[in-house]
Structure 1
Amino acid sequence: MIVPQLSTETLVQRLRYPQGKIRVVIDTDTYNEIDDQFAVIYALQSPERMQVEAFYAAPFHNELSDGPLDGMEKSFDELHRIMKVLGREGEVPIYRGSGMYLTGTNMPVESEAAHDLVERAMQAEDDDPLYVVAIGAITNVASAILLEPRIIEKIVVVWLGGHGLHWPDTREFNLFQDLKASRVVLNSGVPLVLIPCMGVASHLLTSLSEIRDYVKDKGPVGNYLYETYRRCHDDHFGYTRAIWDIATIGYLNHESMTQSALISSPALSDEFRWSVDPNRHLIRYVWNVRRDVIFQDLFRRLGEG
């Protein structure tokens, strides 16, 4: 793969906090957890800030799926379910993503999602990049870069992946599922906003009581999110759960919701540990999320529209 090399000046410019309304696609393993549903709805309820142009179903494999293909299909179906609950069926195209993980760092997995991302990105104006919000395994995004490396000049990737750089390892679900795809994205030089899970997005905890008070009464979508949360655990006594994925939407909605810095892109070892090389290209690393501000914004938006 021959990837265009963006200058440091270009990376710094692309990694500035975006001004005005932005174009967004969301790559999500929506059926895997309960946080994707919150993030998808949060994005759709932020129309003054982002125009959601497409959804991509991402693969996943855990106790909720028989394999990455099954996980992707279940996520595809869940995206349709969300749009139906919102009464917005057919408003945003939904594409199937990869049914497998990368088998090599030069071997893309072709899918509707990867091809749509390439096409949509290449249509972007130089001063209006497409923001790719990735909240699952990064397979679809990596495949699109491998299929057409020039898209790194046209996109900014905002990825919830890995753990904090200070964490003893980075065996986080999104990153861990597809080591090769994670390396493709981290090594490609694409403008990347990396939001870690443990140590950063892990602060986005909420409880059934809070969801009951501020979400349940927000019409069909509020009931859907409340029931989704209620079913996620058998005993909610003293229990809280991280709604990780809303960190990406919070980051894009307002600069005050997160704190970040430009750092050299970390390298990823076979043992799923970070290492730092100051000679590598720059990325934006989010090192803190303002938990209360993000949830307040989400709860308010659920009552709009």
Structure 2
Amino acid sequence: MTQPTWTLGRTPWISDDDAHPGPRCRVIVDNDFSGDPDDLFQVVHHVLSPSVDIRAIIGSHLRPGDPFDGGPTTAANAVARLRELFAVMGLDAEDRIVQGSDVALVDRTTPQDTPAARAIIAEAMRADVDTPLYVVCGGGLTDLASAWLLEPAISDRLTVVWIGGPEHPGLAAEPPGVTDPEYNLAIDVVAGQVLFNDADLPLWQVPRNMYRQCLVSDIELRRRVATRGALGRFLYDALGGVDRFVRASGALRAETYALGDSPLVLLTALQSYFQPDTSSSDHVVVPAPRLTDDGDAEPRADGRPIRVYTRLDTRLMFEDMFGKLEAFAQWRAQA
């Protein structure tokens, strides 16, 4: 039996009685889909969320020599992985897929002028819509920083939500055995310096101590993901690749996995009904630290105010993901 296809903006797995009135914000997703498979869970969750209008999905690059994908064409590989995922979902979203830069910034003033950077600018500068725009980044910041370098006026027209960066002094301690710079920041430290030191972009940051809290257990994944049709099996098998790598390295496997990019969905699609905001999670507003060339964050009193999240509503985030995967699988099975 031929499986049905669908397009963004449609939610055929939601019955008429439960239909959502429509998107409340626009989202551009920027992630390194050939890397840690937590980004696959994030983008699936986002495209299954009717309250967001997904305007573009950028496949971005990894750090050279990354253990997930050593390169040198990791942005192109990210786009290929995204297309593979959407084929499993029956999602026709080719018009929203954009390839980012395959390389990091060379300095803090020279952008990588890519279709991805131009897509961010084009959506930010639209004059025909007034819904909030979020650029949500689950990896490096090359394309976002390039967009700002090409057109600084986007600062007044979007909010950046970034998963990455080290712990802030006084808010959390570094985990044991940590490597610096933090994983996502290490992809492009110069782009991080543009965002923190130079740009005036509104920023909501989910630093390392927060994304490490986004743990799901293997039994949850087996029962509530792997059993949800071809899509659920694809997602679970993607984590199996990580498990095989860990076993081969001689490390001991764990019963949990961090789906650390999922807060990108929580903080955009799952905002409160009244006075829309991230009301089920906690944050503090602090001056943006200054990033050094080594990726260290130096506190400074004169940094622009940014949000730093200190508690995430993981119950809401993961129960919503599990529920949407179940509803989607049931629709695909009945169609």
Bin the TM-score by the shorter chain: 0.7 to 0.9
The residue number in structure 2 matching 1:139 is 142
1:37 touches 1:225 (CA, 8 Å); kept in 2? yes
1:45 touches 1:304 (CA, 8 Å); kept in 2? no
The residue number in structure 1 matching 2:210 is 200
Aligned residue among 175, 187, 206 for 2:185: 175
Residue identity opposite 1:146 in structure 2:
L
Residue identity opposite 1:246 in structure 2:
S
Aligned pair count reads: 283
The change in CA–CA distance for 1:237 and 1:272 in structure 2 (over 3 A counts) is: closer
The residue number in structure 2 matching 1:216 is 226
The change in CA–CA distance for 1:124 and 1:273 in structure 2 (over 3 A counts) is: farther
1:250 touches 1:257 (CA, 8 Å); kept in 2? no
% identity of equivalent residues: 28
2:189 touches 2:294 (CA, 8 Å); kept in 1? no
TM-score relative to the length of structure 1: 0.87
Residue identity opposite 1:159 in structure 2:
W
The residue number in structure 2 matching 1:50 is 52
- Alpha-carbon RMSD across the aligned residues, in angstroms, is 2.0
Task: For 1:179-258, list aligned pairs within 5 A.
Answer: 179-187=189-197, 188-197=199-208, 199-234=209-244, 238-252=254-268, 253-254=270-271, 255-258=278-281
Q: Which runs of 5+ in 2 are unaligned?
A: 1-22, 272-277, 329-335
Q: Which has the larger radius of gyration?
A: 2
> Is 132-141 or 277-286 further displaced after alignment?
277-286
Q: Which runs of 5+ in 1 are unaligned?
A: 1-19
Aligned residue among 67, 90, 115 for 1:63: 67
**Structure 1 residue 127: Cα displacement:** 4.5
1:80 touches 1:89 (CA, 8 Å); kept in 2? no
TM-score relative to the length of structure 2: 0.79
**Structure 1 residue 204: Cα displacement:** 0.9
Match of 1:110, SS state, is coil
> Is 234-243 or 126-135 further displaced after alignment?
234-243
The residue number in structure 2 matching 1:11 is none
Asked if residue 297 in structure 1 is aligned to residue 324 in structure 2, the reply is: no
1:170 touches 1:274 (CA, 8 Å); kept in 2? no
Q: Distance in 2 between matches of 1:200 and 1:26?
A: 20
**Structure 1 residue 52: Cα displacement:** 0.8
1:109 touches 1:143 (CA, 8 Å); kept in 2? yes
The residue number in structure 2 matching 1:154 is 157
**Structure 1 residue 273: Cα displacement:** 1.9
